[in-house]
Amino acid sequence: MLQRGMQFRAPPAHGIILMSLRPGAPYADSANADGTIWYEGHDVPRSVEHPNPKVVDQPRTNRAGRLTENGKFAESVEKYREGLAPPARFHVYEKVRDGIWVFRGAYLLTDYRFEWSTREGRNVFRFFLEPAFETDKASWMPERSGDVEFERRIPGWVQALVYKRDRGRCVKCGETKNLHFDHILPFSKGGSSSDPENIQLLCAHHNLEKGAGFGG
């Protein structure tokens, strides 16, 4: 189910989005400096009728007339715009290498476009997502720069860079499992979450060991 890349669930449940900013990724996802995301919709399934999905407009409905995940995303935004429902919630995971996904955070789906892509020569869906609080299911307000939880979250691009720099291993012992992204200078003491030089990979053991000493 998750390998489809996008799974809608109506609020207050959260859906799942898998995205990639890597060169050569199949979809043109993008992330902005303020933490927001533009996520591209998905293509019609490959079939005898559509041997090359990349030349076909991305579908809102399938052949039976039922909404695709694109359609469910779009309908959710339309209900939100009309004040009929809160924005749909998603947990977003970013691909940093084959088989490795990093949790980017919780997001709210607040806008979308169905527009012509000059790069692809067809119409595609683009969905706009804003970082969201995860403290309360009833909280639907997007986070803004300046909020403590927003500032503490390590951006996906930083996680990807640190993972590559540290070669997917704990910097203390070389462990490759149960890894954590750790603030070298703790956030509580002014350490930055958006500076890769202040973030390192630690295994669970060394992260807990450090936390017992002076916090992470």
Give the pLDDT confidence of 23-35 residue by residue, as tens digits: 889 999 998 877 8
Owning domain of residue 185: 157-213
On the question of pLDDT at 135 being above 80, the answer is: no
On the question of pLDDT at 205 being above 90, the answer is: no
State the pLDDT confidence band at 75, using cuts at 50, 70 and 90: very high
Residue appearing with tokens 């990724």: 25
Task: Tell me, yes or no, whether 23 and 78 share the same domain.
Answer: yes
**CATH number reported for the structural domain that contains residue 52 in this entry:** 2.30.280
> Which two tokens mark 193?
């979450």
Percent of the chain at pLDDT > 70 equals: 86
> pLDDT, tens digit, for every residue of 149-182?
556 778 767 887 888 899 888 999 999 888 888 9
Q: Average pLDDT in the 179-192 region?
A: 86
Output the DSSP codes for 126-167: EEEEEEB--S-TT--PBP-TT-HHHHHSPPHHHHHHHHHHTT
Task: Tell me, yes or no, whether 140 and 177 share the same domain.
Answer: no
Q: Average pLDDT in the 133-142 region?
A: 45
Bridge partners for 123 per DSSP? 116
Which amino acid, one-letter code, is at 142?
P
pTM attached to this predicted model: 0.66
On the question of pLDDT at 101 being above 90, the answer is: no
Task: Tell me, yes or no, whether 142 and 161 share the same domain.
Answer: no
Q: How many domains does the chain have?
A: 2
State the pLDDT confidence band at 211, using cuts at 50, 70 and 90: low
Task: Tell me, yes or no, whether 169 and 136 share the same domain.
Answer: no
Task: Tell me, yes or no, whether 99 and 143 share the same domain.
Answer: yes
Task: Tell me, yes or no, whether 6 and 111 share the same domain.
Answer: yes
Task: Tell me, yes or no, whether 145 and 187 share the same domain.
Answer: no
Bridge partners for 127 per DSSP? 39, 112
